[in-house]
Structure formats: structure tokens, C-alpha cells
Amino acid sequence: MKKHVLSLFIAVWLCTLTMTSCSAAEISAASSGTGLDSAKLTSESQPAAPFLDVPVDAWYAEAIAYCRQKGIMSGTTSTTFVPEATLTRAMLAAVLHRMSDTPTVSDPPAFTDAVAGSWYSDAVSWAAKTGVVSGYGGGTFGVNDPTTREQAVTILWRYAGNPESTGTAGVSDAASISTWAQAAVRWAEVNGILDGMLENNRFDPKANMKRGEVASMLYHYLSNNASSQPEPAASGRTLVAYFSATNTTRPLAEYVADILRADLYEIVPEDPYTDADLAYYTNGRADREQNDPAARPAISGSLENMADYDVIFLGYPIWHGQAPRIISTFLESYDLTGKTIVPFCTSHSSGIGSSDSNLHALASGANWLAGRRFASGTTRSTMEDWINSLDLPEQLTAVDAVTSAAGKAAFNFETKSVTLNSGYEMPINGLGTYSLHGETCVDSVKSALASGVRLIDTASAYGNEEEVGQAVREAMEELGLQREDIFVITKIYPGSEMANPEQSIQACLDRLDLGYVDMMLLHHPDRNDVKAYQAMEKFVEDGKIRSLGLSNWYVKELEEFLPQVSITPALVQNEIHPYYQENDVIPYIQDLGIVVQGWYPLGGRGHTGELLGDEVISGIAKAHGVSSAQVILRWNLQKSVVVIPGSSNPDHIKENTELYDFALTDKEMAKINALDRNEKHDWY
């Protein structure tokens, strides 16, 4: 016991002597069970002794020195780093937590395998809460589980905010990378984060990540990240100033700032607007202000460095056809002479109209560019297209070229997946489980997973979430799959479920028992749908749901719904088959950056005979040597519609995955498009 206390004292003393704070690993090794707080061990100015087990010419030596110097990782003792040791999930969480300046977490999620007050507990809570590292099902985090290379890269990618990545990983074993890790690995590869880690261009995704490799990964991430930041424009800077009372304009302003690497400034009213203030035609505050051209609501605080900006993007909602009067206050508060101003507004239906010219009159010395209206939920890529179309000072377009992030959701037929606007990757063919129950359901889902299907669609209303969860868990065990390999969608139903959304959402999670759900949809519009969606948004914040979506929502429903929610849905699931094609609705949804998924792809039970026997479809099938079902599913995929055919027949299930070795010609697509009868096979 005395020996333990002494060695602990020495370890702590040695840590304080080194350049950095002690790593989670070394505190753990020296003091397991003591509750010592690594954050309290501060750095000192003495130079650190070299690590005896890190040869100066080792490929990771520079990375380890960098991470040590930055205080991100340090040795297992003052003279050893043990670069070959594997890194546990808790350790990786601790490293990233430290990279984020060790934020504290209120109301942390509890994990049965995480010891409260331990060296990792804050980091684990932070990681789970932010979604950087999710817990497993059954309330565990996997504190001591090793981290595989693909997991580690995915975790870093999530930490980086799920940056968009396109193209296919060029590593020789790309095919063995799990679907959920593909985007992350591609991103890491393109950004040089894997430099040094690839032997013979192999990534070895399932191998355990070693400490030296983690140091290398972080070193390349941090140094490349820093170096890839565009230099500030040589003269003048860009500001994005916006007012957003209901959070509709905010995301668009954030996109613009991000695309242009501009500064963001929120125009905050001194007296914030309440819901009652904003209620139209009640002679409430907004009504009165908008009716009074002289109204100038006060702004809280001011922008000290307005003189630094040459270009100002000005975002606002449209209230009664005009910009809110607080925008007038803003324009009159500064000398904007000679600055370029680019207005943009958000509105459900009105255009930018005279708000534009009326505002220009308040800043007549400015170079005023034509403004534009955007609908709520407008995607980053639309904003980017707009910015590219503007006649901006030269240095701005140059900065813009460096950034381009999100794009329209494009199907990747090699990875058989699509990247959602939430940043997660989703397979583009799956299994629908409506009408599958009991053992049939378990067997069908397992058969699908064994055939390579990685997307399963269920719903509370199908009454089979327990079976789906059981099948997924069993398949993970039997097929060696990980939770992240499988994408599970469920839905909550109108009526009592949407009236009590927190309870219903939790019930879905409990029935599935998979730790988190990849996507949750509102099954149908309902009088409580906004409230239910907002509850789902909270579960996203808590990391229990990863992406959100809607089902049976069409243009009008979307127009009404989107302005009322914060997270743009990642997916809309609607009835789509050759006899009911939704040709007006699909492009509308896709233009919003939302992925479309078709239910009843084969016409639905009771209708499949006619559709599969359709002369046009069977003729095309014959020409390609495939089945009618495959032709219909492929037609959907070529229209960028995700397919979830339902089946309990293992042969059909397998057949429905074989969609990537043939392609329909434009003529064949046109022939199937001509089959549309606007014939819905269900009422919703």
C-alpha cells in the first residue's frame, strides 16, 4: 500500500515536471481508483525528457513530440510513451476532450461501466453528450474496449463536425471499411490524416488503433487543419450580420459565414421578441413596428470594428413584406459608406420585394447588391451556388473556392450509400419490415443482414421493433458486425404517440434496445407533429437519435412544417413506385438537400403481381437478365430514391440487394417514367 502511494506521488511529480499534463492513461496506470483529476496537473516550463521507447527516427516520433508539446497526449511515464499500446475508447474520449479544452458537462449521461469521478468520467460524458463517441446499447460506453482504426478515424471525423467528403477511399482495402466509416476514412485520406499509417496502401480498418498512430492522426489533423485555413483577405474582411427571431435565418447566415470564412454577428434586440410579440394580426409588437416606418427597436450591444469590414451580408426574415425594423436600426447605427452590402432574407412565401430597396435608402453610400429570398431549410449548397453567382470583390471568391463543403445528396453506387444532410452515411437499399412479425421478422432481418443489407426500416406502428432490435443484436454477434455498420430507421405515430413524444421516442429506443437509433421519422403529419419533431430534436442533442426525417410529407406539408423546426429533416419517406411516381414532389424534396426514400417500391402487398408482371418492366428485365423487382428498384436508385422493399423470402431479400451490376439506359428510364398512373396504393 505504502509502495503504491509512493509510486503515485512520484508519477504525479514526474508529470508535473514534463511539458504537458498527465495523460489519462498514465493517471490511470499510476492511480487507478484514486479519483485523481488529470486536469489539475498543470504544465511546467522544464523541458521534457525524451521518451526512451520512441526512437528519434520512428515514423511517429515527430507526431508524438507535437502532441506532447500541445498537451494533448503525454507519456505513460515521464520517459515512456508505449507507442504500440492500444488505445481504449475512454482514452480516445479523454484525448479529444483535452483537445477541446476540457469542457464540463452538465447533466452527463450515465453509463453502467463508467466509474463516476474517474479520470475519464468527464471526458466520456462530454464525448457521449456531443455525439463524438456514442455509448453502446444497454447503457454502456465500452470504457475499456479497444478502438479500431476505422472507429478512431470516424470519431475524429465526428469531432471535426462530420465534414463532407466525396469520392472513394483510395486505400487498397477500401472494400473492407464499414459503410459508416467510409466518409470519414475518405476525408482522413484526402486531408493527409492517414499519412504514415498506411502500409502498402492498406488501411486495415478493423485493427486496433495504437497510441503512436493516434498521435500521428491528431498531429496531421491539427497541423493540416491549421494550415488549410485560408489566409484572411489581404484587404478588408467580410461580415455576416443577421437577425433571427425564430432561428430560421440563423442557419443560412451560418452557412454564408462558413463558406466565406466571414465573421458572424447576430443583431440581438435589447428587448427580445416573445411569441406573443410575433403573433401576426393581433396588433402585437411586431405588427405595430412593421406598421410604423419610423420604429427603431434598440439593439443590444454594438459592433466595435465595423470599419474593418468591406463586405456585409445582411440576413433577416420578412415580416409583413418588409425587413424587421431592427434592421433599419442596424443600418443607421454605422457609417456604411463604400461598403458592399448583400441582403438576403428568409420567408415562407414572400419575395425580398421592396424590403431590399427600402433598406438601401438607409445606407445610400453603400454599394448595394441585389438581394435574394430563401425558404426555410435551404441547404448549404444552395447558399454556396448563390454566393458564387454574386459579383463580389475578388478575394472572396478565392476563399470560397477553398471551402466547398456540402453538396446535393448524391448516391454513391460504389459504397451503396448516400451522405445525409446530418453528416451520417445511409445505405441506399434496405429492408422494409412492415407486416413482418415474430420469428418471421427476426429471420427476415437476419437474412437481410447476412445478405449485406445494412438499412432496416421499422416503425412503432408495425409492432415489431423488439424483433428488429433482437435480430440486429443477434446478427452483430453472429456476423461480427458493429452497431455503426447497421442503419435502423423507426417512426412514431400520430395521435397519442405524438401527443406524448418524449415518452414515445424513449419507448422506441427501449423496444429496439440498440443504444441509439440512426434515424427517427414522424410517420404522418399530425396536429402535434411540430411538438413531436422538436422532442426528437432534443434526443438528437442527447445522441440518442442521429438523424431525423418525415414520412408522408408532400410539398404543401413541407412548406408549412420546415419553418417551424430547427433541424432540417435528412429524409422524407413517401409512397413511390412506377404507378405512383411523385414526379413533382421528389425533385422538390431533393432540392432541399433532403434524401427521398420510397415505400411500397414494388407496389405494396396485393399490388406486386400487376406491377412485376407489367409488360414494359418485364421486357426491360429480360433485356438485362434480371428480375422485374430488380428493374423497379434500380429505377428508383437511378432517380436517387432509396429503396426499402419488404420481404420475408430470403431469395427475394438477396435478389433485392443485387442492383449494382446493371444500369438502365435513359430510354428504359423514360419508358418506366411513362407508366405513371398517379395511382396511390394506400391512403396516406
Q: Is 604 in the site for ligand NAP (CB under 6 A)?
A: yes
- Please state, in angstroms and rounded to a whole number, the distance separating the CA atoms of residues 651 and 211: 45
In the complex, the smallest distance separating the C-beta of residue 655 from ligand NAP, rounded to whole angstroms, is 4
- Map residue 587 onto helix, strand or coil: helix
Which one from 120, 242, 462, 533 is the annotated catalytic residue?
A: 462
Q: Is 657 in the site for ligand NAP (CB under 6 A)?
A: no
- Please state, in angstroms and rounded to a whole number, the distance separating the CA atoms of residues 643 and 656: 9
In the complex, the smallest distance separating the C-beta of residue 188 from ligand NAP, rounded to whole angstroms, is 34
Nearer to ligand NAP among residue 380 and residue 523 (C-beta) = 523
Determine the interface stretch with ligand NAP among 260-268, 372-380, 427-435, 476-484 (rule: CB under 6 A).
427-435
Q: Is 605 in the site for ligand NAP (CB under 6 A)?
A: yes
Q: Is 593 in the site for ligand NAP (CB under 6 A)?
A: no
| Dihedral over Cα of 84, 88, 90, 96: its sign | positive
Contact 67, 219 (CB under 8 A): yes
CA distances to 12, 21, 180, 539 from 5, in Å? 11, 20, 45, 44
Among 505, 499, 489, 500, smallest CA distance to 538 is for: 505
Which triple of cell numbers denotes residue 342?
448583400
Among 268, 267, 241, 237, smallest CA distance to 252 is for: 241
- Please state, in angstroms and rounded to a whole number, the distance separating the CA atoms of residues 550 and 571: 6
Task: State which of positions 448-467 bind ligand NAP (CB under 6 A).
Answer: 457
Task: State which of positions 545-564 bind ligand NAP (CB under 6 A).
Answer: 551-552
Residue from 582, 645, 659, 664 binding ligand NAP (CB under 6 A): 645
Residue 354 has φ and ψ, to the nearest 5°, of: -80, -5
Looking only at the bridges linking them, the beta strands covering 237-242 and 455-457 are unpaired
How many residues contact ligand NAP, by CB under 6 A? Answer: 29
Nearer to ligand NAP among residue 365 and residue 619 (C-beta) = 619
In the complex, the smallest distance separating the C-beta of residue 441 from ligand NAP, rounded to whole angstroms, is 10
Q: Please give the single-letter amino acid code of residue 208.
A: N
Q: Is 88 in the site for ligand NAP (CB under 6 A)?
A: no
Q: Could you count the other beta carbons within 10 Å of the beta carbon of residue 232?
A: 12
Q: Is 608 in the site for ligand NAP (CB under 6 A)?
A: yes
Q: Is 32 in the site for ligand NAP (CB under 6 A)?
A: no
In the complex, the smallest distance separating the C-beta of residue 368 from ligand NAP, rounded to whole angstroms, is 47
Nearer to ligand NAP among residue 437 and residue 652 (C-beta) = 652
Nearer to ligand NAP among residue 247 and residue 435 (C-beta) = 435
In the complex, the smallest distance separating the C-beta of residue 681 from ligand NAP, rounded to whole angstroms, is 8
Determine the interface stretch with ligand NAP among 215-223, 342-350, 597-605, 659-667 (rule: CB under 6 A).
597-605
Determine the interface stretch with ligand NAP among 18-26, 334-342, 393-401, 638-646 (rule: CB under 6 A).
638-646
In the complex, the smallest distance separating the C-beta of residue 450 from ligand NAP, rounded to whole angstroms, is 16
Residue from 142, 432, 494, 543 binding ligand NAP (CB under 6 A): 432
Residue from 212, 646, 657, 668 binding ligand NAP (CB under 6 A): 646
| Dihedral over Cα of 528, 533, 534, 539: its sign | positive
The yes-or-no answer on residue 580 being catalytic is no
- Please state, in angstroms and rounded to a whole number, the distance separating the CA atoms of residues 24 and 413: 42
Determine the interface stretch with ligand NAP among 120-128, 314-322, 497-505, 596-604 (rule: CB under 6 A).
596-604
Task: Annotate each residue in 494-533 with x if it binds ligand NAP (CB under 6 A) or - if it does not, as one string.
Answer: -----------------------------x----------
Residue from 601, 641, 668, 672 binding ligand NAP (CB under 6 A): 601
Q: Is 599 in the site for ligand NAP (CB under 6 A)?
A: yes
Q: Which residue's Cβ has the minimum distance to ligand NAP?
A: 646
Nearer to ligand NAP among residue 27 and residue 468 (C-beta) = 468
Contact 397, 388 (CB under 8 A): yes
The DSSP string of 494-561 is: TTHHHHSHHHHHHHHHHHH-SSSEEEEEESS--TTHHHHHHHHHHHHHTTSEEEEEEES--HHHHHHH
Which triple of cell numbers denotes residue 433?
419490415
In the complex, the smallest distance separating the C-beta of residue 682 from ligand NAP, rounded to whole angstroms, is 6
In the complex, the smallest distance separating the C-beta of residue 647 from ligand NAP, rounded to whole angstroms, is 3
Q: Could you count the other beta carbons within 10 Å of the beta carbon of residue 120?
A: 26
Q: Is 602 in the site for ligand NAP (CB under 6 A)?
A: yes
- Please state, in angstroms and rounded to a whole number, the distance separating the CA atoms of residues 252 and 374: 9
Mind spelling out the 3-state secondary structure of 282-336? CCCHHHHHHCCCCCCCCECCCCCCHHHEEEEEEEEECECCECCHHHHHHHHCCCC
Residue from 603, 626, 659, 672 binding ligand NAP (CB under 6 A): 603
Among 537, 550, 634, 654, smallest CA distance to 595 is for: 550
Q: Is 656 in the site for ligand NAP (CB under 6 A)?
A: yes
Q: Is 4 in the site for ligand NAP (CB under 6 A)?
A: no
Residue with cell 430470403: 650
Residue from 134, 573, 636, 657 binding ligand NAP (CB under 6 A): 573
Nearer to ligand NAP among residue 240 and residue 520 (C-beta) = 520
Among 414, 447, 451, smallest CA distance to 183 is for: 414
| Dihedral over Cα of 163, 166, 172, 177: its sign | positive
Q: Is 433 in the site for ligand NAP (CB under 6 A)?
A: yes
Determine the interface stretch with ligand NAP among 213-221, 358-366, 535-543, 598-606 (rule: CB under 6 A).
598-606
Catalytic residues: 462
Residues at the interface with ligand NAP (CB under 6 A): 432-434, 457, 523, 551-552, 573, 599-605, 608, 612, 627, 629, 644-649, 652, 655-656, 684
